[in-house]
Each structure stands twice: as C-alpha cells, then as structure tokens.
C-alpha cells in the first residue's frame, strides 16, 4: 500500500467517504443476496445473485482501501463485521427490507443510479480510490442495464405490476436522497480533488438521470427531500435483524478464523 | 489413360449417419433400431424419436436431478446471511447461485423432452416427484456448511461424472458443464472444513458434530444396491454405474481425506478390505431413505411449503413478463 | 399469453476461437435473453463473445441424404490419394532413391491413411 501524504483532515474525510460507500454496497448486496434461490424466474435468480455478489465484492474492495487509510490494525472483515448496528453508515434507503420483487427493483434502481452519480464524482486526488472506481464503474454498467430493463417491464406490464412498482417507489421515495447525505468532510475532499463536486451536485445529476427514465414511463420521481444530516444514522429494525443474522457465526467465537 | 484404380475408395466405407428409428417404420422395428443404437453407445438428441419407456426414464431421472438442485439451495441459503467473512459470503453466494444455474440447465433439458417447467414445479410442490434425501435434513451450524459443500457435493459429483457419457446427449453435455462448476464447490467446502479443523476446540467440535449427523444420509444418498441386470437406466445407458459402484468410489476418495483431518467417521464397522479394495460398512437405513424421499424427512414439508409460498408470492412477476409489452410511450 | 422462449447461446472462449454451442436459456424477450446468456455462460469470465439466437430462428439440417450421400466421394478427401506404392514404382523405374529429408509439401501424401475427421 503506497503511503500517500494525507493531511489529518483529509484522511478523516476520506475514511468517512469510504465507509459510506462500503457500507452502502455491503448492505445492498446483503439484502438482495436473500433472493438467491427464490427469485421469480430461475434465470433471473442467477442474474440478481450476480448483482449482489458484485456489490459485496465492491464492498470488500472498499473496506480494504479503508483499512489502509485507517491503518489501525483492522482488516476488511473486522471493519465490516465487528461493529454495532448504530456504527453503520449506509444510506437509509438501504434500510428498507428486501420486500417483494417490485420493492427490490425500485430500491435497487434508485440506488444504482445514485451510486453511478457518486462514482462519477470521484476525482484523482487519491489514486487507489480513483483506480478502484474505474473498475467499479465498468461492473456497474450491467447493473444499470438490468435494472432499467426491469423498471420498463414492470411499468409496461399491466395494472398489477405498474401498481406495485408505483407503490414501491412511493414507499422508498422519502429515503431515496439519503445516499446524498452531506458528508462532514466534503469541503476537504473537494479541495483535495478526491471529490470533483459536492454531494449536492451529484444528487442533482442523479435527479436528472431519474427524470429521464421515470417520466417517459409515466412514473413519479421521488420528491427532493431537504438535506438531512440523519440520512445515514438511526437504522431500522429490519437492518438490526440483518445485522443479527450476518454477525451470528462471527460473534459465536471471538477472534477465530473462518 | 487414367488408372481407374486411382479413384477406388481407399477408406473404409463410412457408416452413413442414419437414424433408422426416425424413419416411418413399424414401432417394433423403430424400437429395435433405437435399442441397438443406444446399447452400443450411440447418442440421442431431443429431436430423435424415442420409445416411451426411454423418454419417461430420462425425464424422471433428469427431473429428479433438477428438483434436487432447486431444493438443495434451501438448506444452504440461510447460511449465506450468516457467513462470517466477506470472502466466505461471496463463495457461498456463488455456490448457491451455481446450484440455481444447474437447476436451470436441468429443467431446460427436461423441458425439451416435453414437460413444461411450471408443471414440473407443480409436481415437485405437490410431492408427486422427488428430490435427493440429503436436502430433506436441517442445517444446524457453520460446520454443516463445510460438510455439505464438501461431502454432499462430492457424492453428487461422483454420480455426475458417471453421467457425462449418458446416451441422452443433452443431459451428458449438461453434466460436463455441471461437473466443471462443482469441482470449485468441493474445494470451497473442504477449505471451510480444514480452516475449522485448524481453529479452536469448539470450531473442531462443530465439524465433528456435523459429520456425525450427515454421515447416515450421505451413505444413503446413492441409493440401495440393485441388480445390474434389471436396472433399466443402466440398460438404456442413461447412467453408467450402479449405486454401489458410486458409493464405493465416494468412500475410496473421501474416507482417507476425512481421517487425515483427525475426524472420526461415525461408523465403527467401516473398513476397507485390502484384498478386494472394497469397503464394508454398517448397512444404511433404507427405511429412512424411503421415508425421507417420499416427503417425510425432518424438513421435507417445511421446505416444500416454503417453495410453494415463494412461488405464489412471485407469480405476479411471471404473469407480468409473459404479457407482451405495449409499445413504449413516445 | 406469450411463452418464455428458448434462446441458444454460442460462446467464444478466447479471441480467434470458433464459436461453440454452450446451451440455452429461457427468456421472455431478446434483451433479457442476452442478460441471462451472460449469466449462464460467462459468470466465470469464460467467454469473450456470445451469440444469442432464438431457437425458432435456427434452421436445422440433419438429413443423411444431404449430409452423407452414399456414393464414393474419396476423390474429394486427402485420404483418397494414397501414392506410396506408385511412388516406389516410379523411383524404381527412374533408378532413384527416396530423398533423404523431405521438405513438407502441401499435399499431405505422407503415405499414412488419414482417419476420418
């Protein structure tokens, strides 16, 4: 790992950014891995499982970067698993449970496009992150293709599918912007060219993208929520349940190798 | 003058690739041609004429295999959520994904034999068709995850390798692809087990306890010994080895590998006869096997019910995408 | 109501390799067929290219009268021209010896019968 000269302020801000990105990928990958074996169609089962695995792989890579930045002796598994639920910094959007197929498609669609806008905001100020983001973007292209294909099919599929999709978008809509929760160290990141634009600008790009897809389909774009500092804290019951599951084996034997 | 002999056929006369059972002949003649072809090692494709007995036998065989892959997902998917490291989570998700993929491949083979997928799923849920015994049992710990991925997949691959030369070519080709993918699962499973066996005392105990529970079902998995001469699936070369041959092969490869880790195999009568290279063992409980595969296993009904509910919950999605989409709004 | 349709998938393992039939997927339309083909036949990065074709669009030829007509056609194949004995006779007539090292010609008449490929 190259020792790059990061000022304490930038280091802290970068760690915060990496944690939010990694936690987002981790929780979304986890939630949707629940579809493995029970998706609506066998072929689709394999597809959604690949997307979940991609997210978990991205999370792993991001936690590894974070471990390097924090340099506090923890590896990526320790960072991912050895925390209480309230220490997680994923967006509230991802606190929503898996739900039915429409819920998953709505949530994933909003998240994938948000992630795309976020990745497009990463500059070259911290080269290891810039390199990783280049790879992530290439993998995420398929996610966008696949999710848009489903949004279209559900929108055009008749009253039942359209109704479920609309309800799903409405249910997660209020939390949709939580991916763009302001970061405390945003200013420092922009100055260090780790971010090319403030988070609010990424949100605007995301809205434009969403509008371009949802409006022609006759679907509502989620309302622009006022930026809340709480978009990544105070996690839901369903996340706490998820946390209980994914830490179960690990907590059974402190410090063991699995 | 051109030597007429220069143009003599110097190659052996090639058998025309004739498929006389496909010709418009009386049934008995078609049957005889078909049987001669298959018993001599010939291959059959989905578009060939088949005697009803053959078609039914292949379909039953493939359908049970497909059902097993689909049901086999359920014991393992709980542990995807609980995998204790990122890498294990990825590996387990990928493994279960492969099993779903295998179900897809196998249901496709069965569909091309004439049975629609929805009908096969209806029959599975209604208990009219079967799936392998091992998928009717509960999983209790991370130890099970390792033991299943290693030994259940190993027992399956022993059977699947013997199917790579099946007379029914679409099935044989699918087996080749499946065997290639399964080999990775076995490595993942063995890695989980070996990691636990080099860990704490309670981790080692997890593995032994899991092995104690899984050994019986594993020994039953390939089925009771049968009479080679009366086995129709062997006659039609749908499969190539008997149940006992598969079980012996499994024991020969895996008993030493279990013992080398310091695990105790919970069968005091298990012994290799050095002269005949044959394993003797406590007779598996064939009543248990029969009871389990007819839906009376500890988890049979719960898992079928889970499948039924899941299918109902997702029905609207299938109904949606099978309706032709109207032209997109301009 | 439309059925799911079968799409055949052909894969190319690496650049320059021939396309090989891998299997097939069921899909409601060509776009999802492409996604599913990618999932079923390229999860392990085992393909550099996929062709995904509706089974209904494939023409199948398996008529032996067309593919394997019965009269001799050995004059179309390398194995139909075995000259070892005639060459020996020609050398004897010319009083020559068999050349020591032969540069590989383009006619593949080394005298070995070629097996059917």
Size of interface A-B (CB pairs under 8 A): 141
| Among C68, C79, C82, beta carbon nearest to B16 | C68
C chain contacts of residue B323, beta-carbon cutoff 8 Å: 1-2
Test B202 with A253 for CB contact under 8 angstroms.
yes
For chain A, the farthest-separated pair of C-alpha atoms sits apart, in whole angstroms, at 57
Q: Cα separations (Å) of C33 from A220, B165, B178, C41, C54?
A: 29, 29, 21, 12, 9
Q: Which residues of A touch C52 (CB under 8 A)?
A: none
Subunit contact B85:A100, Cβ cutoff 8 A = no
**Quick check: A223 pLDDT over 90?**
no
The beta-carbon neighbor of B100 closest among A36, A218, A249 is A36
CB B221 within 8 A of CB B157: no
What DSSP assignment string belongs to A84-112? -GGG----GGGGS---SHHHHHHHHHHHH
CA dist B184 → A60, A161, B156, B310, C42 (Å):
21, 39, 13, 29, 16
What is the C-alpha separation between A104 and A110, in angstroms, rounded?
10
Q: Which residues of B touch A258 (CB under 8 A)?
A: 84-85, 88, 142, 192, 195-196, 199
Q: Do B7 and C82 touch (CB under 8 A)?
A: no
Closest CA to A103 of A56, A173, A45: A173
Q: Looking at the partner chain, which of A46, A145, A153 has a beta carbon nearest the beta carbon of C39?
A: A46
Among chain C residues, the shortest Cα distance to A145 is held by C35
Does the beta-carbon distance from A46 to C43 stay under 8 Å? yes
Calculate the alpha carbon distances from B234 to B37, B62, B66, B237 in Å: 14, 14, 20, 5
Phi, psi of A220 (to 5 degrees): -80, 135
Inter-chain residue contact A47 with C39, CB threshold 8 Å:
yes
Task: Determine the Cα–Cα distance for residues B187 and B137; give it in Å rounded to an integer.
Answer: 23
For residue B319, what is the nearest residue in chain A, using CA coordinates? Answer: A157
Q: How many residues does chain C have?
A: 117
What the block records as the tokens of B171 is: 């099935």
CA distance A134 to B198: 39
Whether residues C36 and A50 touch (CB distance < 8 A) is answered with no
Angle at A148 between CA A144 and CA A151, to 5 degrees: 145
CB-CB contact of A148 with A112 (8 Å): no
Partner-chain contact A149 C27, CB within 8 Å: no
Compare all CA atoms of chain A with the CA of C6 and give the residue at the minimum distance.
A43
Q: Would the CB atoms of A41 and B86 count as touching at under 8 Å?
A: no
DSSP C51: E
**Chains in touch with A (≥3 Cβ pairs < 8 A):** B, C
- Chain A residues with CB under 8 Å of B195 CB are 257-258
Which chain A residues touch B79 with a CB distance below 8 Å?
A: 249
Query: Which ranges of chain C would DSSP assign to H, the alpha helix?
Result: 30-42, 64-67, 84-94
Measured CA distances, A26 to A19, A67, A243 (Å): 10, 15, 11
With CB atoms and an 8 Å threshold, state whether B314 touches A40.
yes
- Written as six digits, the tokens of C103 are 């540069």
Q: CB-CB: which of A81, A153, A252 is closest to B320? A: A153
Q: For residue A257, give the chain B residue with the closest CA.
A: B199
Q: Please, what is the end-to-end C-alpha distance for chain A in angstroms?
A: 25
Both structure tokens of B89: 């989570």
Identify the three-state secondary structure at position C8. Answer: strand
d(CA A103, CA B294) in angstroms, rounded, equals 37
Contact A50 C31 (CB under 8 A): no
Nearest CB among A40, A56, A156 relative to B90 is that of A56
Measured CA to CA, the distance from residue C4 to residue C26 in angstroms comes to 6
Residues of chain C positioned with their CB less than 8 A from the CB of A41: 4, 26
Sign, CA dihedral A154-A160-A165-A166, equals positive
- Burial zone of B215 (CB within 10 Å; 0-12 exposed, 13-18 middle, 19+ buried): buried
**Tokens matching residue A85:** 């639920």
For A82-138, write each residue's pLDDT tens digit: 999 999 999 999 999 999 999 999 999 999 999 999 999 999 999 999 999 999 999
Residues 6+ apart with CB under 8 A from B76: B92, B95, B96, B99, B139, B145, B148, B149
Q: Determine the Cα–Cα distance for residues B12 and B19; give it in Å rounded to an integer.
A: 20
pLDDT score for C93:
86
Instruction: Report the distance separating Cα A10 and Cα A191, nearest Å.
Output: 9
Nearest to residue B143, comparing CAs of B252, B284, B261, B292?
B261
Q: Do B101 and A46 touch (CB under 8 A)?
A: yes
Residue pLDDT tens, chain B, 330 long: 444 444 444 444 444 557 889 888 999 999 999 999 999 999 999 989 999 999 999 999 999 999 999 999 999 988 988 999 999 999 999 999 999 999 999 999 999 999 999 999 999 999 999 999 999 999 999 999 999 999 999 999 999 999 999 999 999 999 998 998 888 899 999 999 999 999 999 999 999 999 999 999 999 999 999 888 889 999 999 999 999 999 999 999 999 999 999 999 999 999 999 999 999 999 999 999 999 999 999 999 999 999 999 999 999 999 998 865 444 444
Per-residue confidence (pLDDT) for residue C89, from 0 to 100: 86
Q: Cβ separation of B97 and A50 shorter than 8 Å?
A: yes
Chains that touch C (3 or more CB pairs under 8 A): A, B
Phi first, then psi: what are they for B57, rounded to 5°? -65, -45
ipTM rounded to 2 decimals: 0.89
Please answer yes or no on whether A146 and C35 come within 8 Å at the CB atom. Answer: yes
Residues of chain C with pLDDT under 70: 1-2, 102, 107-117
A37 touches chain B (CB under 8 A): yes
pLDDT in tens, A126-185: 999 999 999 999 999 999 999 999 999 999 999 999 999 999 999 999 999 999 999 999
Q: Does A30 touch chain B (CB under 8 A)?
A: yes
Residue A162 structure tokens: 């359209």
Q: DSSP strand E in chain C: where?
A: 5-12, 20-27, 49-54
User: What is the edge-to-edge ordering of all strands in the sheet holding C20-27?
Assistant: C20-27, C5-12, C49-54
Tell whether A244 is within 8 A of chain B (Cβ).
Answer: no
Q: pLDDT value at position A80? A: 94
Can you tell me the distance from the alpha carbon of C45 to that of C12, in angstroms, rounded to the nearest whole number?
11
Check if A67 contacts B (Cβ < 8 Å): no
Identify which of B14, B47, B322 has the shortest CB distance to residue C4: B322
Cβ contacts of B216 within 8 Å, gap of 6 or more: B284, B285, B288
Residue B264 contacts residue B277 (beta carbons within 8 Å) = no
How many Cβ atoms sit within 10 Å of the Cβ of residue B139?
20
Q: Which residue among B103, B192, B196 places its CB closest to the CB of A42?
A: B103
Min Cα distance C97 → chain B (Å) is: 24
């Amino acid at each position: 790992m190259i020792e790059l000269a990061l000022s304490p302020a930038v280091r802290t801000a970068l760690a915060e950014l990496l944690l939010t990105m990694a936690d987002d990928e981790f929780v979304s990958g986890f939630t949707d891995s629940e579809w493995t074996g029970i998706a609506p169609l066998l072929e689709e089962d394999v597809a959604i499982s690949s997307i979940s695995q991609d997210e978990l792989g991205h999370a792993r890579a991001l936690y590894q970067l974070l471990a390097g930045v924090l340099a506090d002796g923890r590896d990526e598994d320790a960072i991912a698993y050895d925390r209480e639920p309230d220490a997680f910094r994923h967006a509230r959007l991802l606190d929503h449970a898996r739900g039915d197929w429409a819920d998953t498609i709505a949530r994933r669609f909003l998240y994938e496009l948000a992630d795309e806008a976020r990745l497009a905001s990463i500059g070259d100020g911290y080269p290891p992150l810039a390199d990783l983001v280049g790879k992530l973007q290439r993998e995420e292209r398929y996610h966008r293709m696949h999710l848009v294909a489903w949004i279209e099919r559900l929108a055009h599929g008749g009253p039942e599918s359209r109704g479920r999709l609309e309800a799903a978008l409405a249910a997660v809509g209020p939390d949709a912007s939580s991916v763009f929760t302001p970061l405390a160290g945003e200013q420092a990141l922009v100055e260090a060219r780790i971010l090319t634009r403030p988070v609010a600008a990424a949100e605007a790009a995301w809205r434009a993208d969403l509008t371009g897809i949802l409006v022609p389909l006759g679907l509502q774009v989620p309302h622009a929520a006022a930026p809340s500092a709480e978009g990544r804290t105070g996690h839901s019951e369903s996340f706490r349940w998820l946390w209980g599951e994914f830490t179960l084996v690990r907590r059974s034997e402190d410090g063991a190798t699995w | 003058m051109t030597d007429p002999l220069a143009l003599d056929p110097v190659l052996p006369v090639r058998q025309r690739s004739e498929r006389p059972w496909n010709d418009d002949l009386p049934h008995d003649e078609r049957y005889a041609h078909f049987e001669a072809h298959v018993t001599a090692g010939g291959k059959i494709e989905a578009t060939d004429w088949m005697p009803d007995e053959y078609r039914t036998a292949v379909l039953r065989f493939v359908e049970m295999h497909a059902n097993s892959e689909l049901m086999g997902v359920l014991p393992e998917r709980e542990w995807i959520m609980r995998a204790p490291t990122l890498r294990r989570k990825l590996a387990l998700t990928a493994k279960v994904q492969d099993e779903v993929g295998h179900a897809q491949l196998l249901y496709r083979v069965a569909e091309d034999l004439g049975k629609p997928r929805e009908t096969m799923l209806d029959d599975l849920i209604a208990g009219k068709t079967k799936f392998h015994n091992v998928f009717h049992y509960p999983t209790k710990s991370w130890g099970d995850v390792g033991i299943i991925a290693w030994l259940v997949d190993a027992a399956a691959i022993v059977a699947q390798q013997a199917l790579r030369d099946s007379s029914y070519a679409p099935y044989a080709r699918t087996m080749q692809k499946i065997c290639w993918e399964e080999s990775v699962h076995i490595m993942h499973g063995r890695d989980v087990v070996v990691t636990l066996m080099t860990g704490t005392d309670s981790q080692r105990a997890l593995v032994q306890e899991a092995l104690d529970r899984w050994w019986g079902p594993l020994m039953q998995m390939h089925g009771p010994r049968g009479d080679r001469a009366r086995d129709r699936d062997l006659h039609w070369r749908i499969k190539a080895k008997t149940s006992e041959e598969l079980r012996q092969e499994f024991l020969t490869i895996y008993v030493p590998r279990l013992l080398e880790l310091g695990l105790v195999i919970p069968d005091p009568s298990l012994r290799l006869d050095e002269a005949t290279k044959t394993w003797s063992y406590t007779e598996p409980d064939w009543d248990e096997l029969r009871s389990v595969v007819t839906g009376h296993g500890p988890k049979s009904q719960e898992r079928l019910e889970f499948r039924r509910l899941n299918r109902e919950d997702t029905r609207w999605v299938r109904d949606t995408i099978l309706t032709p989409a109207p032209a997109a709004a301009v | 109501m439309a059925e799911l349709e079968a799409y055949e998938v052909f894969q190319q393992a690496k650049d320059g390799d021939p396309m090989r039939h891998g299997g097939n997927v069921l899909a409601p339309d060509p776009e999802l067929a492409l996604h599913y083909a990618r999932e079923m036949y390229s999860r392990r990065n085992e393909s550099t290219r996929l062709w995904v074709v509706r089974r209904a669009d494939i023409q199948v030829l398996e008529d032996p009268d067309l593919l394997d007509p019965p009269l001799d056609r050995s004059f179309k194949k390398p194995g139909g021209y075995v000259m070892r004995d005639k060459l020996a006779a020609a050398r004897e007539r010319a009083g020559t010896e068999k050349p020591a090292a032969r540069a590989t010609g383009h006619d593949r008449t080394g005298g070995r019968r070629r097996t059917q490929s």
